[in-house]
Structure 1
């Protein structure tokens, strides 16, 4: 398994440390990891398609249309995409293709950091089998989420009162999987600070998600992407 971890963007999410956590998980599973503190690897369309997994750790930032397309095409051909928190679903806010591919975009974290909330496992998928519900003290992400996502865990958005409160609390997805072409996409909203995902159930969820997404490369081998392709732009 060969993985690319691209880290940078807003320093408040400590991207270098989060990238190090992901590197450790992948190397412990026998993976070879390339770390980059620049978006330059996304400009290499052919190079991206040689990876089993791409892990973005890049809150905010700007991604060119060409680079977004390169990542999309790599994932569509089987390269996995996996990440957490703002490093994946609050990255590249001006790129609708990125949001479509990852399955959501961040819009708020009512109450800020230090919110105490429960993560509830809502699936019998092997990615969360044996992981109990658990409590988190961190930001609680409010996301605009693709209804096609396969939800693994949720949290109830009733921990703080704000302008959204008259709409009533909802079960906000915390972790999910989805497909993009022949590729696998995994996201987990936890990880505002590295300590939130450094141990316990949150770390185990992410570890499994990274490996699951990477395994999609082998599963895609020999499959035909052509039936999913039509002429013209779609974003």
Structure 2
């Protein structure tokens, strides 16, 4: 049986806050045997994303200060709307700096307090993305988000901070495509944590499960 193909996009340039290399190695271990991972630092690849070539895209993009071109945005929009899956991990939400992709991902990053231990809580007892995952604690940045009010979403994981619970992971649909955002992932040691590894493999399975693809 052919393994489904996944493209991972991110940054490895000098000065990147979230270098792709170490995280890519961990993702390869998580997905190995079930998925074939192609790693790219060339954002032009977004312009030509094709559901016949890749079943899903994982964004670890660190493009806070480098806006995507109109062609790159259009390519990703067409891809997800046509049935391609999208998983954005931690800084991968930087793609939502443009309003078009804000609708795809469902929210944009606003700020975060300092890196610290956080307690994570499931929001539901039954969800395919939480299969094999219990409540857990790990060190991470407490990301804050501004949500797109027009995009329905399902928050399946929250973290506790300053006496409140904040959204940490959610899933939604965009056209024919499935989208997941996962907040934990600042460093490779976070990716190595068993709950995060499980959510990642659950997410990739979920976003690639649909067979509805845009035909030529």
**Counterpart pick for 2:105 among 102, 105, 124:** 102
Which TM-score applies when normalising by structure 1?
A: 0.80
Q: Residues of 1 paired with 2:102 and 2:16: CA distance?
A: 21
Q: Residues of 2 paired with 1:49 and 1:98: CA distance?
A: 22
Q: Is the 8 A contact 2:46 2:76 kept in 1?
A: yes
Task: State the Cα RMSD in Å.
Answer: 2.0
Q: Is the 8 A contact 2:96 2:108 kept in 1?
A: no
Q: Is the 8 A contact 1:49 1:74 kept in 2?
A: no
Q: Is the 8 A contact 1:106 1:143 kept in 2?
A: yes
Does 1:40 find its partner at 2:71? no
The C-alpha deviation readout for 1:55-75, integer Å capped at 9, x for no partner, is: 111112321122111111111
Aligned positions of 1:82-121 closer than 5 A: 82-86=87-91, 88-91=92-95, 93=97, 95-110=98-113, 112-113=114-115, 115-121=116-122
Q: Residues of 1 paired with 2:23 and 2:61: CA distance?
A: 10
Does 1:65 find its partner at 2:70? yes
Q: How many residue pairs get matched?
A: 205
**What SS does structure 1 have at the residue aligned with 2:95?**
coil
The C-alpha deviation readout for 1:208-235, integer Å capped at 9, x for no partner, is: 112211222x2x14x89xxxxxxxxxxx
Q: What are the ranges of 5 or more consecutive residues in structure 1 without an aligned counterpart?
A: 159-168, 225-235
Does 1:3 find its partner at 2:18? no
Q: Residues of 1 paired with 2:194 and 2:39: CA distance?
A: 25
Which TM-score applies when normalising by structure 2?
A: 0.86
Q: Is the 8 A contact 1:174 1:190 kept in 2?
A: yes
Compared with structure 1, are the counterparts of its residues 181 and 198 closer, same or farther at alpha carbon in structure 2 (3 Å cutoff)? same
Moved over 4 A (4+): none
**Counterpart pick for 2:57 among 54, 57, 61:** 54
Q: Residues of 2 paired with 1:13 and 1:155: CA distance?
A: 21
> Deviation at 1:104?
1.1
Q: Is the 8 A contact 1:41 1:48 kept in 2?
A: no
Q: What are the ranges of 5 or more consecutive residues in structure 2 without an aligned counterpart?
A: none
**What SS does structure 2 have at the residue aligned with 1:71?**
helix
Residue number in structure 1 paired with 2:18: 13
> Deviation at 1:180?
0.5
**What SS does structure 2 have at the residue aligned with 1:127?**
helix
**What SS does structure 2 have at the residue aligned with 1:215?**
coil
Q: Residues of 1 paired with 2:131 and 2:205: CA distance?
A: 15
Q: Residues of 2 paired with 1:179 and 1:92: CA distance?
A: 15
Q: Is the 8 A contact 1:119 1:155 kept in 2?
A: yes
> Deviation at 1:22?
2.1
**Counterpart pick for 2:129 among 127, 130, 135:** 127
